[in-house]
Structures are given as C-alpha cells and as structure tokens.
Chains A and B, each alone.
Chain A
Amino acid sequence: MLKLKDGFVLKEIAGKCVAVPTGSDIDFNGMITLNPTAKTLWDCLAQGAEMEDLVAALLAAYDVEEETAVAHVADFVEKLKGLNFLV
C-alpha cells in the first residue's frame, strides 16, 4: 500500500494548496503546492491507497480517460517517492 509519511501540514494560502512537512521524519526543507488533481491523490495517500484506488479517485472526480489518469497517478507517485514522502 502507498501511504504518505506523517507530519505534513496542508493549508490553503493565497488561493494555493500548500503542503509543508514537519517532524523529523521527512528531510525536505521546501514546500509543495498541490493542484486540484494532486490534492485528490494526496488526500487518498494520506489515508493509504493502492495505485488502482488512486486511478479510481481521479476517474470519479474528473472527466478524464483512464489512460490519462493512470499516467497522471504513476507520475505523481514517482514524484512523491523521489522526495521520500511515502512510508
């Protein structure tokens, strides 16, 4: 299962959804902004989800082709893994 590490604070600032890590588990001194699709995936990943769940969440929330959703999810998960944000 894919799951975000604990300690992220999510906040809307000046119209942007911003995620900032706290605690000592995440070695990242920046912040990331989430667009609406990323926010949808983020919320699922905060609870814990499989790739299929993430694709299903995108398909339910947005009018996209499955192929596009799969590519989007793979790309986003890859980014989070690269940042070492996942458990």
Chain B
Amino acid sequence: MIKVQQDNFDVGAELADLTAGNYGIGGVVSFVGLVRDLIDVDGRDAALRAMTLEHYPAMTEKKLAEIEAEARSRWPLEASLIIHRYGRLEPGEQIVFVACAAAHRQAAFDACNFLMDWLKTDAPFWKLEETDAGEGWVDSRESDDEAAARWQIKPDRAAE
C-alpha cells in the first residue's frame, strides 16, 4: 500500500493495520526516516530549521506503486507499506516509513532495504532545507545511486 500525505503517521498503528488478521506473517521489518537537526552546508555543520519536501503527485504515486510491485515480485511478502510525507517538516519529524511483512525475516529485511534504496533514487521528491543562513535545495547523492545499483537495476534516469 502507498500513502503520500502531509500529515504525520503513527508507526504502531500502521504496523498493527499492516499485519491485522494475517497469521501467515512471521516477521515485520520497518524503517522510519526522520528529519535531522544538523546538515552539511559547504563542508560545515549548520542547524536545520526545517525541510520542505516538494513532489510531483501523479508521478510519485505511480513510481512508488511500481517500486512496491517490484519488491513484491522479488520477495514473498505478505504485506507491504510505503508512507512518504511532503510539505514543511521540522527536526525530529517523521518523513518516510517503509514496512515489509513476510513469513520469514530475511525476505522482510531485504525487501525493506530494497524499497528504501530504490525510493531514494526513483521517487520524484525534492528537499529544500532552511537554515539561519537561508534556503538551499539538497543535492542528489552518488552514494544513493550506488545503493540502488547494488540491487542490479540501472537507475531510471534521463540523460545518463
């Protein structure tokens, strides 16, 4: 299931919903991404006031659904969930949630890892950071491309 929303989410409630009534599930692995309070600005630490996530709604839903379908084709998952927030978020707030449930733990761990790596490089979100010095857009990271590449699908990027 995919949820793209401005509102916060309750991890406990989401996990309870994900596994409710399915006694074939032997394990759930989840990841929560949070807004950090320190960022790197030109090699120096800067205090983050807030981060604003912009996205391309129609494409976001489509890409996240594709990424989830890919995970479910690779691992025997009983249930899966991706929540990605957008809008203005302050340090400590939750940004993203991925949960995978399976009969056995290895599939759940691997699928969760895959989903996070893959959504970093494929989901159309952009982060704008606010510090006391002003605003700046976050640059994409080569390490994220490398993390996604280890699952042996070429990042689906134009002009590369």
The yes or no verdict on A and B being binding partners is no
Chain A contacts to B: CB under 8 angstroms: none
